[in-house]
Amino acid sequence: MTDHATDVLVPPEWVAARLDEFVANDPAARLLEVDLDPSSYETGHIPGATKLDWKEDLQDSTAFDIPSVADFEALLGDIAVTPESTVVVYGDMMNWFAGYGYWLLSYYGHADVRLLDGGRDGWLADDYDLTDEVPEFSPRSYTGASPNESIRVDRAEVETAMERGTSLVDVRTPEEYRGEVLAPPGWNEGVQRGGHIPGAVNVPWSQVVDADGRFKSEETIREIYREAGIDEEVVVYCRIGERSALTWFVLHELLGYESVRNYYGSWVEWGNTVGAPIERGRRAGIRGE
């Protein structure tokens, strides 16, 4: 790119000033749109942006896991991303799934990935144009780094974290956390039990963003987690690991917490595991209400 911003969170004007680079058939700069509703892309997207479907592209539905290294490398190569590309990710619904896309790129060691503050909503709020033109870029070869296991945790490691007193943050809605519902309306991954992991506090992911989708000030966000009693070592989870990926971004990338791990299996795995302990109801001192 023509210059190199150091911040992982970039404002709309930063992207707007570089549209010539994002639309060029040059892998130096790439825009990726990852939406809760993938059809949003067809209604208009930032010029040069490539659509990624979070269900089809960013997970392995057979294994119910993230894509394999080989599949992820093939995906990125097909959309003309190289290991040297500056990749900016954005999406609808306050960057809900864009944050997951950012986390996945980080997990597979992509060196330069950014998140567009405000996502689609922020772009439109600032009166920037959308296009329906789908870009065509020449495929490239992508070879990633070794997975960064320090930002992911599995169920056995969550059990160890519970024993150590590691901060567990449930970022779902208060109703999910208390066990009153199994998923938000319209969602159903077949969870058998409602509730939360014992000892987890509830800090819903949406508390750190304003109505326009932009993140609140660093001071405000830091106070939210300080009031919740969150230590420097944190495990975050939600239902399928996507909302918690955005919370991972906030804690690790924006606030600088050194040890933050995303439990990708999240409640779908925990709530369906025979013998896994759960709690229901509201714990004192949480921010979920």
Alpha helix locations (H) across the chain?
Answer: 12-16, 19-23, 69-78, 96-107, 119-125, 155-164, 174-178, 218-227, 243-248, 266-270
**Three-state SS at 167:** strand
Sheet holding 259-263, edge to edge: 152-153, 259-263, 233-237, 167-170, 201-202
| Catalytic annotation present for 68 | no
How many CA atoms does the CB half-sphere of 229 hold within 13 Å?
Answer: 13
**Six token digits for residue 276:** 């896994």
Residue 209 region by backbone torsions, left for phi larger than 0, else alpha for psi between -120 and 50, else beta: beta
Task: Name the active-site residue from 116, 182, 238, 268.
Answer: 238
**Six token digits for residue 224:** 């939210």
Please give the radius of gyration of the chain, using alpha carbons only, rounded to the nearest integer: 19
Residues 6 or more apart in contact with residue 176 via CB below 8 angstroms: 170, 182, 183, 184, 194, 239, 267
Quote the DSSP letter at residue 214.
P
Residues labelled catalytic: 238
